Amino acid sequence: MHYDIAVIGGGLTGVAAARLAAERGHKVAHFAPKFAKDYRTSALMMPTVDFMKSSGLLAGDVAFGTPLQKIRIIDATNRLLRAPEALFDSAETGRAAFGYNYANSDLLGAFSKTSAKKRSINAVVSSIKRVGEGYAIETEDGRAVSATMVLGADGKKSRVRDSLGFLSHMTEFGQSALVADIEFERVEPETSVEFHYEDGPFTLVPAGDRKINLVWLDKHEIVAAAARGSQNEFERALEEKSHHLFGHAKALTKAFVFPLSNLSVPCVGKNGAMLVGEAAHAFPPIGAQGLNLGLRDVENFVSAIDELEPGFSVEMAEKASIRYDQQRQHDLRRTGGFVDGLFRSLLSDFVGAQGLRQTGVWALKTISPLRKFAFQFGMGN
């Protein structure tokens, strides 16, 4: 059977893209193999929230998200040059919040609600080949379809990207991320608190009441040992890393550890194929940019296909993919460069880099136009 668009990947960007394409009348095949519940959370900035609401991905209000009104940054390193503590308040932007912290499972449920017809295929794609009418796609269980356009939303190890000749570069880091839900005796309401250490930040993101979503970046052996230890040992480590500011820590969930890497893809759209989400970019979870960037990919994908009528030709698909790549290039280079530079500056023992960080934080604290620019940049504007 032939489809206008084949979307490959069952994560948030894939589900969002497949839904929005189907709601525009296109015949969509969505390859979305079932996977375990995603216990992670995502801090989505207000421009992303606005897109989710205007596109219909989020219906009505955003009641299931926790507002993020303040960001507090504490330099907890023992280096010679340390940055001053900084507090950023969304009131300075004229908004009630920088964004909202969502459970990924809640977002997936919201994104999946649609009356549009699309074919969902619970199978892993084994082969993608370019053919005369677009692309031939086969699954591991023997099913086969063709599509005029392909969208790869299948993560860091994207089969779409690698099968269709998209160049990419992966940099592995010695750090990993530990994520878990925890609870403290005391919290700073609606405030994300980041402790910056020599091997990465220790970030506490509010998730309602006293619940906190922890994102701890450190050397792999450090976070792996913390995850393997007893609950008492883990909770004592959390209290120490947070400088005992919030009292006793209680682990609410198991800790999960993810190795960190940086993925860059010079071209994300060609020959009627496009990449979104971690198929197109991946970097350490700093600055709340990951899913925000992925949903901006989806927004530009929708913009690129909005001019197409159902049943569009291969030539029109190719033009749309080129248009998508052109739309994404500036944002991908800017955001990817910022996150990579920020992460490397946190790890650097070079005194000059430490001085630049210190000077930069002082400038953000004291120079109003620079603070305004930083707010706009961080929210993806």
CB 320 within 8 A of CB 307: yes
66-102+173-260+350-378: which CATH number, 3.40.50.12780, 3.40.50.1980, 3.30.9.10, 3.10.20.600? 3.30.9.10
pLDDT above 70: residue 28 = yes
Domain segments of the chain: what residues?
2-42+110-170+262-347, 66-102+173-260+350-378
What is the token pair recorded at 371? 């603070």
pLDDT tens-digit readout, 55-88? 999 986 556 789 999 989 888 887 666 667 888 8
91 pLDDT more than 50: yes
The whole-angstrom separation of Cα 193 and Cα 70 is: 8
Q: Taking residues 310-326, report their average pLDDT.
A: 97
pLDDT of residue 173: 86
User: For residue 380, is pLDDT > 60?
Assistant: no
Q: Is 66-102+173-260+350-378 the same fold as 2-42+110-170+262-347?
A: no
Stretch among 49-58, 61-70, 167-176, 189-198 having the lowest mean pLDDT: 61-70
Given pLDDT bands bounded at 50, 70 and 90, which one contains residue 357?
very low
Which letter does DSSP use for residue 83 in this model?
A: P
DSSP at 296: H
User: Quick one: pLDDT band at residue 351, thresholds 50, 70, 90?
Assistant: very low
What are the helix (H) ranges across the chain? 12-23, 46-55, 104-111, 159-163, 220-228, 231-241, 290-305, 314-347, 351-366, 368-378
| Lowest mean pLDDT segment, chosen from 102-111, 266-275, 326-335, 340-349 | 340-349
Q: What is the mean pLDDT of the chain?
A: 87
**Could you please report the per-residue DSSP string of 118-184?**
-EEE-S-EEEEEEETTEEEEEETTS-EEEEEEEEE---TT-HHHHHTT---EEEEEEEEEEEEEEEE
Domain 2-42+110-170+262-347's class? alpha beta
Q: How confident is the model at residue 344 (pLDDT cuts 50, 70, 90)?
A: low
**What average pLDDT score do residues 204-208 get?**
92
- Predicted local distance difference test score (pLDDT) of residue 355: 44
CA dist., res. 242 & res. 211, Å (int): 15
- Tell me what the mean pLDDT of segment 358-376 comes to: 49
Three-state DSSP at 325 gives: helix
**What pLDDT was estimated at residue 371?**
46
**Which burial class, exposed, middle or buried, applies to 131 when counting CB atoms under 10 A from its CB (0-12, 13-18, 19+)?**
exposed
Q: The pTM is what? A: 0.88
221 against 290, higher pLDDT: 221
Considering only 99-113, 150-164, 312-326, 367-381, which range has the smallest mean pLDDT? 367-381
Q: Is the pLDDT of residue 370 over 80?
A: no
Q: State both tokens at 20.
A: 């929005």
- 347 pLDDT tier (thresholds 50, 70, 90): low
| Percentage of the chain exceeding pLDDT 70 | 85
pLDDT band for position 94 (50/70/90)?
A: confident
By mean pLDDT, which of 83-87, 147-151, 220-224, 256-260 is the weakest? 83-87
- Of the candidates 1, 30, 75, 13, which has an alpha carbon nearest to the alpha carbon of residue 282? 13
Q: Enter the tokens of residue 183.
A: 């609870």
Give the rounded distance of the alpha carbon of 306 from its chain centre: 24
Confidence of residue 350 (pLDDT cuts 50, 70, 90): very low
Q: Where are the beta strands (DSSP E) in 198-277?
A: 200-206, 211-219, 249-251, 256-264, 269-270, 273-275
Q: How far is CA 286 from CA 43, 55, 216, 340, 342, in A?
A: 11, 26, 10, 9, 8
Helix (H, G, I), strand (E, B) or coil at 273: strand
Could you report the per-residue pLDDT of 238-297, keeping only the tens digit for each? 999 999 999 999 999 999 999 988 899 999 999 999 999 999 998 877 755 689 999 999
